[in-house]
Structure 1
């Protein structure tokens, strides 16, 4: 293996790989030498990622209805969605959307790629969760419950495969400078009539560093978990949130 490219010869699948944190993870894995396939619902950003060099190939699909997936040694599951509402206005449809996007989809992808990893006797699974997997946030009961469920999935599966060469971990970013957070800022503005700066401050105050996390910082943690030196890290939840309690 090329010492300068620690993931040379490794095949990686990144879900949600066309934008935001997923795209940053694709770039990080590619630069480390992995052959990356990006998966997502929208073809245009996936194609742009491949054309830019962030990935070698793409697969346009909804994780709720997965086609056969390519064999991979590394899975970074970054697909997800966020919606907010007061608990008493969180209806069954919203619950289902959040559970499907943030928990059930992750389980389906993991079930699809895990058999190949177990046969090979090695593999890495990294789920991009959230600080909402570690604590509660008001007005996000369905999202927070789903992310707690995702972390529970990671921890349980990590124990199940611990002796078979596969590790399963989570990265838990705080509010990150992505389109999802931009949408949250827009919703705060619409509901409260605050300025964009005031709405952004509402989110950045959660971070003791007083800023949004950068997607590249989340990707760096995901990359670490895929490197050979992280073989003993299993069942972990790594916060990338500037020290947010």
Structure 2
């Protein structure tokens, strides 16, 4: 993939995987449109990443705001890469999962990636191609109790990934998904806190319980996920599309 203007759009860019992804692309010389809700965290990202970081304060669950953001992006040219990273979860039994929970999770995890792809991919194709990388979860490949709507959303994201890969294959756009296991992020911290609260285990014990779920016996680091994202964005991955890459320490293996 050859382009004179390398630009990436990263959602959920203010923390965790999104932050490391944004900084890695900035170091590689990309102009980085960094989308997130937290203005202060985006300001911190911009200070660390320098002038290549273009912060956009956007709640991706807000369709009007997200569409406005795509117009801002396209005004400076089509992106080379889209990384749909923003995601949320709800941990609750089926009977305690509300329709409001369903709407919010689907809006962030499925509708937002769909809208970004719909609005940006045609311009990418016209400019010669690009990459779309969706950040899923091991929950895209299997069921997990107490996370029915989260699992449903990540399965839906994988379906979107595979469908768009086929639709845009001859337009020189690859579409792939990265499915991490437990990663050292705020979501992981919240999960360990919930385990501690419901079981009485210490934080370290809760952490160990989650780490023991995979063959490596450890938590994945955001930088490890980022390395896979950077590979999929590279010329070396030009023949890879419609793929789902597990980076879960062997949990699904």
1:148-163 aligned at under 5 Å gives the runs 148-163=155-170
User: What is the SS of the residue equivalent to 1:53?
Assistant: helix
The answer (yes or no) to whether the contact 2:58–2:69 under 8 Å persists in 1 is no
Shift of 1:194: 1.2
Distance, in Å, in 2 between the alignment partners of 1:29 and 1:134 is: 28
Aligned residues: 241
Cα 1:197–1:8, aligned 2, differ >3 Å: closer, same or farther?
A: farther
| TM-score (normalised: structure 2) | 0.91
Is this contact kept in 2: 1:154–1:168, CA < 8 A?
yes
Cα distance change of structure 1 residues 8 and 221 upon mapping to structure 2, 3 Å threshold? farther
Q: Which runs of 5+ in 1 are unaligned?
A: none
8 Å Cα contact 2:11-2:35 kept in structure 1: yes
* 1:137-176 alignment, distance < 5 Å: 137-176=144-183
Structure 2 vs 1, CA of residues 220 and 226 (structure 1 numbering), >3 Å: closer, same or farther? same
Q: Once the 2 structures are TM-superposed, how far is the Cα of residue 8 of structure 1 from its aligned partner? A: 7.5
Pick aligned residue for 1:45 from 22, 41, 46: 41
Aligned partner (choices 19, 25, 28) of residue 32 of structure 1: 28
CA RMSD of aligned residues (A): 1.7
**Contact 1:41 1:61 (C-alpha < 8 Å) held by counterparts:** yes
Moved more, 151-160 or 107-116: 107-116
SS of equivalent to 2:61: helix
1:114-147 C-alpha deviation (Å, 9 max, x unpaired): 1211211201100010011011111111101100
Q: Which structure 2 segments of 5+ residues have no match?
A: none
Alignment deviations for residues 33-76 of structure 1 (CA, whole Å, 9 cap, x no partner): 21212101111111111110165211001112212321311111
Greater alpha carbon shift after TM alignment, 54-63 vs 33-42: 54-63
Distance, in Å, in 1 between the alignment partners of 2:161 and 2:129 is: 17
Change (3 A) 1:191 1:233: same
Question: How much does 1:108 deviate?
Answer: 1.2
Compute the TM-score of the two structures, normalised by the length of structure 1: 0.94
Name the SS of the counterpart of 1:168 in structure 2: strand
Partner of 1:242: helix, strand, or coil? coil
User: Is 1:56 aligned to 2:53, yes or no?
Assistant: yes
Q: Aligned to 1:22, which of 18, 26, 29?
A: 18
